[in-house]
Structure 1
Amino acid sequence: MALASATGKPCHNPPIVKKICLSVGDRSEERTVESWFADAKPIDSLEPEIAFRLWDQFHPAPEHQPEPLDLPEFPRASRLLARTSEVTAHEAELAAYYGRVAALARQHALKIHQVRQYFWMDLRLDNEEADVHLSFPWYDTVSSMDHFLAAVAGNDQGMLHDDQDQGWAVEAWAFDGTLYIRQSNPDSDDEPGQSVVLPRADLQARIAPLRERTAKLMAYLAKELGPDVWLGGEVQSAGPFDQR
């Protein structure tokens, strides 16, 4: 398959080699791209999902014993994770769970920044059949996750996303409808990480309903609870953490 140039003209190098063709004015030139493209695992698709991290205990302070925290009862694959697809039609039950978190925080006179971990979320890209599991451990709010999702969902070519934090890095590239994603550990030469290549349109088609579903859930929770903690925003004065 040929790569698209910056002007939309096809280049004749295959997408997994180390060179791509770019048209600059009336000239064509080759530029080196990432060497890991050649080792990327070809897959048909990835399933993107965002999940709420749940806790079955509330830890008010190091000197206090943890207190039990009742979990939502709706069906889900993982006891301490609630995927957006699982929460649909159970929004009130999830809101009630977070209401219990807020009540315990008020009881111990805790501010939102002291209990923010109870509102963390997870973003994952999985293909069970191909045994591919890409995680984003440093993205714990919708706003941080959406930078990646929006980049893949758009139409830009070349490097779409590049980020790293302690022991983790992710990068995504796109050329002519083909998407390359790599997760690695920049602090270790002994961990090869995971790299995949797949059709961009398929992942885009899955990202669109995920973003829509997540936005609706965030709006519901914000309406019920006040502070928009999942989006990384600031606490509203009349929210459930208000100590008045």
Structure 2
Amino acid sequence: MRAFLWNSDAEVSVSFPWYDSLSEIEGLFGKLEGVDSGLVTNDVDQGWAMEIHAEQGALFIRERDPDSDETYVNVRVPRHELVRELNRLRHQAKSIVSYLTQALGADVWTTYVRVEPSFGFTVSSELPPAPVAPPKRAWWRFGKGL
């Protein structure tokens, strides 16, 4: 599991390679939702850095290499629209994880797994219907002045 934000039309994406569990991703998304103004997060890990600031209804996101200081992405996105879409995706991700956990007998998505799980495959009519994939769409729209 990984967190990625992208806009297919603009061919822009932001990656979060060190956020590889639902709980880590939830923490990040909670910060995006909870900070109206100022520094949202500043994270650095093994050749990757991400700074996110909130200001005047927008999020300013910069992804870079801290060793060379090369900037990969530097974008401004509407905060409210992004948070609304993230909340929809959170619900969907939790539904998918719940379904997979029930189907496979182990949850390896919610938190980082340090011990190899034992999957108890079951075929059961009690499983919920498989989640439906969302329509392809951008997570933000470029607008005037962006």
1:196 Cα deviation (Å)? 0.7
- Maintained 8 Å contact 2:63/2:72: yes
2:27 aligns with: 147
Offset of residue 140 of structure 1: 1.5
Give 1:179's aligned residue.
Answer: 59
Q: CA deviation at 1:136?
A: 1.1
| Partner SS for 1:206 | helix
- State the SS of the aligned residue for 1:160: strand
Partner residue in 2 for 1:33? none
- 107, 111, 115: which one aligns with 1:228: 107
> Kindly tell me: are residues 233 and 129 of structure 1, through their superposed partners in 2, closer, same or farther at Cα, counting changes over 3 Å?
closer
- Secondary structure, aligned partner of 2:4: strand
1:165-207 Cα distance to aligned partner (Å, 9 max, x none): 1110112111231111110000113x22211112111101111
Name the stretch that deviates more: 145-154 or 159-168.
Answer: 145-154
CA distance in 1, matches of 2:74, 2:109: 29
Larger radius of gyration: 1
| CA distance, structure 1, for counterparts of residue 112 and residue 72 of structure 2 | 32
Equivalent residue for 2:13? 133
Count of aligned pairs between the two proteins: 119
**What TM-score do the two structures reach when normalised by structure 1?**
0.45
Output the aligned Cα RMSD: 2.2
User: Residues 155 and 163 of structure 1: is their aligned pair in 2 closer, same or farther, counting only changes over 3 Å?
Assistant: closer
| Contact 1:122/1:136, CA 8 A, preserved across alignment | yes
Q: Name which of 162, 167, 171 aligns with 2:42.
A: 162
Match of 2:92 among 209, 213, 222: 213
Within the alignment, does 1:204 sit opposite 2:88 as a pair?
Answer: no
- The answer on whether the counterparts of 1:228 and 1:235 sit within 8 Å (CA) in structure 2 is no
Confirm or deny: 8 A CA contact 2:62 2:72 kept in the other structure.
yes
Aligned AA (1:183): E
Q: Which runs of 4+ in 1 moved over 3 A?
A: 233-236
Change (3 A) 1:152 1:188: same
Higher relative contact order (CA 8 A, sep 6+): 2
- Corresponding residue SS for 1:152: helix
Note if contact 1:167-1:186 (Cα within 8 Å) is conserved in structure 2: yes
Matched, 1:192 2:61: no
TM alignment of 1:109-124, pairs within 5 A: 121-124=1-4
User: For the residues of structure 2 that align with 1:193 and 1:235, how far apart are their CA atoms?
Assistant: 31
State the distance in 2 between where 1:197 and 1:222 align.
36
Q: Which runs of 5+ in 1 are unaligned?
A: 1-120
TM (norm. structure 2) is 0.72
Q: What one-letter code is carried by the residue in structure 1 that aligns with 2:52?
A: A
Instruction: Sort the Cα spacing of 1:178 and 1:235 in 2 relative to 1 into closer, same or farther, 3 A.
Output: closer
User: Is the CA contact 1:227–1:235 (under 8 Å) kept in the aligned structure 2?
Assistant: no
Separation in structure 1 between the aligned mates of residue 62 and residue 113 of structure 2, nearest angstrom: 32
CA distance in 1, matches of 2:65, 2:113: 32
